Each structure stands twice: as C-alpha cells, then as structure tokens.
Amino acid sequence: MTMRYRVLGGTGIEVSVHCLGAMMFGAVGNPDHDDCARIIHAALDQGVNFVDTADMYSAGESEEIVGKALKGRRDDVVLATKVHFRMGEGPNRSGNSRLWIMKEVEQSLRRLGTDWIDLYQIHRPDHTTDIEETLSALTDLVRQGKIRAFGCSTFPAAEIVEAHQVSERRALHRFRTEQPPYSLFARGIEKDLLPVCRRYGMGVLTWSPLASGFLSGRYRKNGDIDLTTGRAALTPHRFDPSIPENAAKLDAVEQLVELADDLGCTLPQLAVAFAAAHPAVTSVIIGPRTMAQLDDLLKGAALTLDDAALDRIDEIVPPGRDMYQPDGAWRPASLTDPALRRRPLAERAAAG
C-alpha cells in the first residue's frame, strides 16, 4: 500500500488522505502512553503524515502524548491542534478571543514539545467574540512563526463566508481549512458547507467517519445492543433500538454491511472510503483507540468505491441527508435557545 497525499487548502502542504486523530489518546480513551506512541509510530510507518489533536482532548494529555511520540520525527509530520473549549476554572480560559488564543497557543506548544504548529484550528464558533478579533490574533501568530496556517472546525457555511469577507476587507490571513463531521449517516454538509469550502479553496479534514461508532459494525439490527457500556452508555438515546430514528439507522447498517461484503471490505473501511471519495474532502480523520482498530482502517486505505458502489450508498442514505446529529457537533443559538425563535407572547397573534 502506498498512501496518497493531497494539497491542504492551497497552502502547498501535502497531507495524507488518512489523518491520525488523537482524541482517543489519554484518559478519555487509551491511558497507556506507550501504547498510544506505538499506534502513532505505526501510522507514520504506513505513510500517514498528518496528525490532529486538540488542547481539550483529555485536558491536554493527548497533546502531551503526541508531542512525546513525535520526538525525532517532528519534521516529517504535519501537526494540527485546536483551541476553543474550556481549559480550567475562571473567566478567559476558553473561547476565541485574542487574550485566550495567545495564552493557549503557548500551552499547546509546550505540551506538544514543538516550536511551531502546522495547522491551528478554532474548534467551534464563539459568538461573544468578533470574528475580526479571532482572525487578527491568528494572523499575528502566522507572522510570528508560531503557526503555519489556521482553520476552523464545525463552522456553519454562512460563518465561513463571513470570515472570508472579513479577511479580505481587513487584509488578514484567512481560514485555510474546515474540519466538519461527515459520514454515511451525516451527509448534511453536502448541501452547502462542502460547496462553500470548494468555492474558497479550503482544505477539508472530516471527523467521525464511523458516526460515533454506529458504523463500527458493533451495532446490528438483530444483535444484543448493550446500552450500559461504551458510547451507548454515554448517549443511550443514540443507540436505543426502540427509538424509530435508531431503528432506521440499524436498517441502513444492514444494507451497508451487505454492500461492504460485496466489495470485500469491512463496514468501517467502507465508511472511511466514502468520506475520502468526495472531491471537497482533503483528508479523513481516523481516531483509533487500539492498534487493531488502526490496522483495520489502514488495510482499507486502498479501497476504491466505483460509481456503482456510490450509487448504492445514495440509495441507502440519500445525498444531503442527516440520519443523526453527530456527538459534539455545534448547533447555533437560533436552534437551541427558544427565546430566539419566539416573539413575546403578547406579540404572537396576527390581530389583537
């Protein structure tokens, strides 16, 4: 197998089509630092040159693990991390403000044991901070040489457009990448986000190709789904087969397993290959917790889905359809805050 590389968002930086995600390294997933290092080294040895982590993964432990594992190999790796989520008690320890970005980038550099970050990403939108403030801080970090490029993660298409307009108007550097959730069960970004990213020449690195584990092959229609362990224990409403939406997903899984069998691959391999086949996608983040999981996913790296296979997928899950809301996906206040969707009671009627 020879890993393929694609240019990341017009930066000229070539990254592997598989990106090693480090969310499962540390207390939240695999607490064995040596084992995590072996997984990282195995991925690098198979041609993966792109590693993605975040300051908040296991409260900084993931960055520390990645930093230790990359000693002696740092120059050969495109290293990405993220900032936004809370990293301690008290005010000004989260968000997208200049104050927090400038503080936290230093902490990420320290944990990663490096002098520079190749891709620094804003983990989620922050409507308490003017986007110009965020872009200005990131531009300064590029000019200081502490980061090479910057991007965003799980931003709505409209906010990406706004950010590009602000960058042009204020002569600031712009978001070069977007990191959205994308899978066989979460295809909503095909409607507007992915076309917008192509329009602006942005690189796209997608997360959760296995749909929070639903496409791992572990959850089957006629199987015994244990809601007391793993991801199912954390979010049982996403896996409970008695819920109609979950029953529909299980039906789709059976059809996708049949397709995977016809293609001679596993369901996870099919899921990752699907995301990599979209012309807007640069790299697909795979987040193994164990060496066995990494081995299975890398064995499918050479899988090519022809038009017939993709047509079959479109029949099972139509383009642009979301069968679930990915865990951790950002939702705008316009949807989560009822007060923004409801006029005061006395003003709702058309007549008094």
Burial of 288 (0-12, 13-18, 19+ CB in 10 A): buried
Active site residue 182: no
Determine contact, residues 162/152, Cβ cutoff 8 Å: no
Cβ-count burial 173-207 (b if 16+ within 10 Å, e if not) = bbbbbbbbbbbbbbbbbbeebbebbeebebbbbbb
Place of tokens 């298409």: 157
Whole-angstrom distance, CA of residue 69 vs CA of residue 20: 13
* Residue tagged 């299980």 (tokens): 250
Residues 221, 225, 228, CA angle at the centre, nearest 5°? 160
Q: What is the CA radius of gyration of the chain?
A: 21
Among candidate residues 57, 120, 219, 324, the one labeled active-site is 57
Residue 294 tokens, joined = 């990494």
How far lies 308's CA from each of 76, 93, 128, 180, 332, in Å? 37, 49, 47, 26, 37
Q: What is the Cα–Cα distance from 36 to 2, expressed in whole angstroms? A: 23
Please name the helix (run of DSSP H) or strand (run of DSSP E) that holds residue 299, with its range, or none. helix 291-299
Judge contact between 256 and 316, C-beta under 8 A. yes
**CA–CA dist 176, 172 (Å, integer):** 12
Known catalytic residues?
Answer: 57
